[in-house]
């Protein structure tokens, strides 16, 4: 049975918590790709409730991530959805290096992606019982097609898109990825369809 985590844990304007690890990874990536100065500028200008001091095991308002992504977009001129996608691609490299167990014995992207919710995030939840994870419902899984429906109150479908693209690149497979909204608003979720050529 798939668990859908689509209820925000607070009743005010969609605030949900996000693991500090995601913030520390983002700021380190900005440092590596751009500069330490730019990372400091983003934090200094953003007026963040946390003050921009993140520990990997802490929990922070996920809207701070949105603020940082928008701030980077303003500084670099790159669109917000592209910044999130770029972050997702790089986050995949970090996660797959830090947690090689999820990839051991796997020789294709479908075999990893089919288990984002049932295997990977299930383990994440054991590690961090308070993690706020999205749901990835497997709507179809065949040799040549995988259809995943993403739902999250945090609406980070562009981050998910980057993570999935990087997983396909990791296995160097001829797989194309298409996405479409599942409803009128971003909160209705996104369908990702992977097709093997
Ligand atoms: C390609 C595979 C993966 C995809 C597509 C994926 C997708 C996502 C997305 C989109 C989020 C942002 C939160 C949201 O949308 O509500 C997220 C959060 C997270 N993911 Fe994954 N993920 C993947 C693999 C992994 C792996 C390998 C780990 C390793 C431990 C991991 C750990 C986490 C953690 C810790 C969070 C933050 C939870 C929180 O903020 O409380 N994910 N994931």
Residue 158 included in any domain: yes
Find where tokens 């200008």 sit: 45
Same domain, 41 and 100: no
Question: What pLDDT does residue 14 have?
Answer: 65
User: What is the pTM for the complete model shown?
Assistant: 0.91
Closest atom, ligand 1, to C-alpha of 5: 16
What does the pLDDT average to over 51-62? 91
The CATH number of residue 146's host domain is 3.90.1520.10
Q: Give per-residue pLDDT as tens, 76-114.
A: 999 999 999 999 999 999 999 999 999 999 999 999 999
Distance CA 43, CA 27 (A): 9
- Same structural domain, 77 and 115: no
Last residue of a domain, one of 84, 99, 122: 84
Q: What is the number of domains present in the chain? A: 2
pLDDT of residue 17: 85
Cβ pair 39, 47 in contact under 8 A: no
| Residue 77, domain extent | 17-84
Mean of the per-residue pLDDT values of the chain? 91
Residues with CB under 6 A from ligand 1: 18-19, 21-22, 92, 95, 99, 102, 113, 116, 120-121, 124, 131-134, 152, 154, 156, 159-160, 163-164, 167
For residue 189, the 8-state DSSP code is: -
How far is CA 9 from its chain centroid? 19
DSSP 114: T
Q: Which of 55, 84, 113 is the last residue of a domain?
A: 84
Enclosing H/E stretch for 175: strand 175-181
In a domain, 106, yes or no: yes
What spacing in Å lies between the alpha carbon of 11 and ligand 1's midpoint?
23
| Whole-number Å distance between alpha carbons of 162 and 81 | 10
pLDDT of 3 > 50? The answer is no
5 lies in some domain = no
CA nearest 133: which of 144, 149, 145, 120?
120
Gap between the Cα atoms of 190 and 136, Å rounded = 10
In the listed set 84, 102, 124, which residue is the last one of a domain according to the structure?
84
Q: Which two tokens stand for residue 153?
A: 């109150």
Does 7 map to a domain?
A: no
Residues in the chain, overall count: 197
* pLDDT tens profile 147-190: 999 999 999 999 999 999 999 999 999 999 999 999 999 999 99
Statement to judge: residues 48 and 116 lie in one domain: no
Structural Rg of the chain based on CA atoms: 17
């Amino acid at each position: 049975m798939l668990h859908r985590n689509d209820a925000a844990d607070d009743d005010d304007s969609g605030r949900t918590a996000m693991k500090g690890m995601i913030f520390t990874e983002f700021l380190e990536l900005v440092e590596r790709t751009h500069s330490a100065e730019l990372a400091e500028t983003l934090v200094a200008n953003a007026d963040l409730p946390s003050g921009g001091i993140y520990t990997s095991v802490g929990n922070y308002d996920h809207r701070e991530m949105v603020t940082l992504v928008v701030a980077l977009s303003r500084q670099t001129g790159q669109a917000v959805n592209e910044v999130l996608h770029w972050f997702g691609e790089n986050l995949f490299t970090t996660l797959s290096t830090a947690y090689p167990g999820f990839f051991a014995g796997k020789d294709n992207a479908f075999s990893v992606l089919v288990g984002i919710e049932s295997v990977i995030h299930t383990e994440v939840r054991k590690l961090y019982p308070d993690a706020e994870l999205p749901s990835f419902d497997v709507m179809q899984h065949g040799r040549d097609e995988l259809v995943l429906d993403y739902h999250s109150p945090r609406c980070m479908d562009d981050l998910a898109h980057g993570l999935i693209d990087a997983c396909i690149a990791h296995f160097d497979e001829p797989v194309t990825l298409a996405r479409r909204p599942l409803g009128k608003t971003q909160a209705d979720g996104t369908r990702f369809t992977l097709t093997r050529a």
